Amino acid sequence: MSLFATTKGLAVLNQPDLFDGKATCLFELDDSFKAFDAQQRYFPATLAPEFDLSVFKAMAMHYGEPLQPGHALGYRDGQLLLGFTHNTPDNTLPVFWNEGRTVPWAPVFVRYDKEY
């Protein structure tokens, strides 16, 4: 059991060769939690008709790609806008958390690498 999980992540975990339907979470994040999904919940056209989501996505891609090559929108295209006081998941947009080790960047949130 975890506190948060994406719907797709749970589907993978619940395959017979892994947790065989026994993986669960407290709060399930469907695709509406992805920042640029067609059904995203953050920027409804009715509340901000002047906001162009494609411009925001292009900006996230432009600045995110040098920070996390191949994962400009978060690990495995996570597109999450999620952070916690103890850490920020790598499937959150890297423009929010990446410290800019390869290019100059000052993130809003901190992400601590795991030590294995």
Q: Is the pLDDT of residue 112 over 80?
A: yes
Which residues lie closer than 8 Å to 83 by C-beta, 6 or more apart?
89, 92, 96, 97, 109
DSSP SS3 for 2: strand
Domain range list for the chain:
1-32, 34-116
Single pTM value for the model: 0.87
Residue 16: per-residue pLDDT: 97
DSSP SS3 for 80: strand
Model confidence over 39-98: pLDDT tens digits?
A: 999 888 777 778 888 999 999 999 999 999 999 999 999 999 999 988 999 999 999 999
Q: How far apart are CA 113 and CA 116, in angstroms?
A: 9
Model confidence over 10-55: pLDDT tens digits?
A: 999 999 999 999 999 999 999 999 999 989 998 887 777 788 889 9
